[in-house]
Chains A and B, each alone.
Chain A
Amino acid sequence: MKNPVYTFEKLKFASFEFTCCEGCQLQLANREASLEAFFSLLDVRTFREISSEKHDDYDIAFVEGSISRSDEIERLLAIRRQAKTLVAFGTCACFGGVNSLKNRFPIKESIAEVYDGLPVETLPVRKISDIVKVDLSIPGCPVAKEEIERIVVNLVTGSLPAMPKYPVCVECKERLNTCLFDLGEICLGPVTRAGCSAVCTSGKTPCLGCRGPAEDSNFPAFMELVKERGLSRRDLQEKLGFYNAFEAYTVHET
């Protein structure tokens, strides 16, 4: 008897985008050296950004972006009906992302400011799981292609995709970077889920938490650290609110 875990069948794959910059889908076309191998694992049924072919018989749907218009809700519900596995792909899909910054302002004011009163429809920004059940969340702004490659291999081989539970801080320390707190900056590395190879902090810019809260982190201790160092509370709020990924914590702390 064949063990299903070791059956290598291409994933019947589709990619969709909602309110976003499409930068996460672009990552699928990056890492050019392994691109042929990557696409050999996928049976691309729909991927409007790179192909004119369109078939509705997909099993797995990668959904990029957040939801901010009623026609998007309809499209998303249709995708949910078809997909056996629905993946929230990228920070906008997982948490609402930077688009959520719009929610700080009244909708009417926003439309008036940008569209001079033209009746443009826009709703408060929501993440994918606010509308439909999500089977797998892959955060990142943008997502890390190395991680996508690993997860796709997991899905093809039928093994469970796993993500680090520890924070970015661990990866940053592994890279022997100078701690940004020691340079007087608030960095969300201690509380954000790892898996990005600490790319921002290695470029000497603070982590803004695009991958959301790490399971194994100590948020109260992090808050204590910010307080102890006398760092700006407003700066902290700006960073925690940047991707809407720390909603639970920001509401709690303000």
Chain B
Amino acid sequence: MKRDCSIDIRHLTRVEGHGNILIRISGGKLVEARWAVVETPRFFEVMVKGMSAERVPFLTSRICGICSISHALASIRALERAMQVTPPPAAEALRLLAMHGETLQSHALHLFFLALPDFAGTPGILPLLESHPELVRAGLHLKELGNEISTVTAGRCTHPVSLVLGGLSKAPDRNHLQQLLDIIGERKSALEVACDFFASLDIPQFERETEFISLHNGSTYPFIGGELVSTDGVRRSENDYLLMTNEYLTEFSTSKFTRCSRESSAAGALARFNNNSAFLHPEAKKAAEKLGLRKVSHNPFMNNIARLAECVHILYDAEALIEQLLGTNLQEIRTHFTPKAGSATGAVEAPRGILYHHLETDEEGRVTKADCIIPTTQNNANIHFDLHALALQSLEEGKTDREIEKLAEMLVRSYDPCISCSVH
């Protein structure tokens, strides 16, 4: 069937930041499919120059309003490795707990505020408060719990206050940790509501063989530091992040593109799952099974399901972490250090995927050079090539313009792009 179709979405909604989708079909043939990031760049790598090491995480956390804890911890890890500072074990556990809170908050925000309206056919979450009150409240309960976990451990959920070089500036109150345990217990039912609902959805059938990149440590589901691995069998150490990313520029995007073994690669929940599903909490494994998620999944729409499986993992792992923390001395949470010259990479698994900060300092610990590679930057090329394949498949299936447009929007959203973050 010969046909023409032109999709031109400016400033896609329900994503963080500004991006455009362009698909052009002429005479039944795909002419162009493109994902263009048009966000205003902020130049964080320049801003941070000359800044004292201790102040850096407070600046870099401002790269992103959703994953500020990940950014703070990536900088902290880079600087601690550069200056050979080892934080106390309790601080490491608290940092992981802070990240769990952030990931839960971010995933719940994505699943319920950004993705759910597509499946429900509404423009946003607000109409769903009336049509699906129990479901929306379950989402809000999970998001609130995520924020609570981060607030108790890091002092504030957006732009943390107590995550500092050497550990934490202040330990959480034991009573607050105990209260968190109680809330986690209560909120497991919200998780069940969410899993039942998402298990009932028709996830779009679309696959494009992809190289998935994530952290890996061989013993736990990875969040902070470790080896860099890909489903194509590449393994690198943290400091060799550039070999994993190979950033390049395109003319139509203010965010850079990356690649590893192929023309593009993917990071994020599905990438973490594909490389590390063996290390999920047993309850999360059960949820993944129930939701039809199996490794290695090449369907980007399954990112939503991987996010939900991670929420299950986080609730149970946070519970275990808090129980462990309540049995330890929370006085020793900070190692004092003397600033010095050095250079290292800090990699963490931000909610949207692997995040690298590479920092170099002078003898006073002031930053001389910075490089930040953001998860969404690593997904931009994959989104771009996915769009191409999705448009071709939709054309073959005889989908209408409106159907192609909706699928394209859903595809981009499934990566939960954090665009202002990617154009830092």
Contacts and interface: CB of A to CB of B under 8 A. Distances in A.
B162 A203 contact: yes
Interface in A89-115: 97-99, 101-102, 104-105, 109-110, 113-115
B159 A141 contact: yes
Contacts of B147: 30, 32
A35 interface: yes
Contacts of B164: 205
A242 B14 contact: no
A137 interface: no
B155 A22 contact: no
Interface residues of A, number: 58
B14 A21 contact: no
Question: Range of interface residues on chain B?
Answer: 35 or more
A205 B129 contact: no
Contacts of A32: 140-141, 143-144, 147
A245 interface: no
Interface stretch (B22-30, B35-43, B281-289, B393-401): B35-43
B301 interface: no
Contacts of B65: 20-26, 142
- Mostly, the B contact residues are loop
A56 interface: no
A30 B109 CA distance: 10
A238 B55 contact: yes
A4 to B, nearest CB: 27
A98 to B, nearest CB: 5
B14 A49 contact: yes
Interface string B370-410: 00000000000000000000000000000000000000000
A170 interface: no
A186 B339 CA distance: 18
Contacts of B143: 29, 32
Contact of A21 (B15, B63, B144, B162): B63
Interface in B79-134: 109, 113-114, 117, 123-126, 129
Contact of A199 (B15, B66, B156): B156
Contacts of A50: 14, 113-114, 124-125
Interface string B160-202: 0110100001100000000000000000000000000000000
B51 interface: yes
B162 A238 contact: no
Contact of B140 (A35, A102, A204): A35
Contacts of B125: 50-51
Interface string A72-90: 1000000000000000000
Contacts of A18: 40
Contact of B170 (A35, A48, A115, A204): A204
B376 to A, nearest CB: 13
A204 B11 CA distance: 40
B261 interface: no
A39 B109 CA distance: 16
Nearest to B62: A98
B114 A114 contact: no
Nearest to A200: B161
A194 B81 CA distance: 36
Which of B55, B68, B126, B147 is most buried by chain A, counting CB atoms within 10 A of its CB?
Answer: B126
B419 to A, nearest CB: 9
A151 B75 CA distance: 35
Interface string B36-73: 00001111011111111001001100111110100000
Interface in B8-28: 11, 13-17
A192 to B, nearest CB: 14
B100 to A, nearest CB: 17
A54 B13 CA distance: 9
A202 interface: yes
A17 B144 CA distance: 24
A118 interface: yes
B249 interface: yes
A157 interface: no
Given A22-B66, A51-B124, A115-B249, A72 B40 contact: yes
Contacts of A120: 41, 254
Nearest to A64: B65
B123 A204 contact: no
Nearest to B118: A52
Q: Please list the 7 inter-chain residue pairs (A to B) with the smallest Cβ-Cβ separation, ordered nearest first.
A: A23-B65, A51-B124, A203-B155, A203-B161, A32-B144, A101-B47, A203-B162
7 contacts: A20-B420, A30-B157, A30-B158, A33-B144, A47-B124, A203-B154, A208-B58
Interface of A: 17-27, 29-30, 32-33, 35-36, 39, 44, 47-54, 68-69, 72, 97-99, 101-102, 104-105, 109-110, 113-116, 118, 120, 122, 141-142, 199-200, 202-205, 208, 235, 238, 242
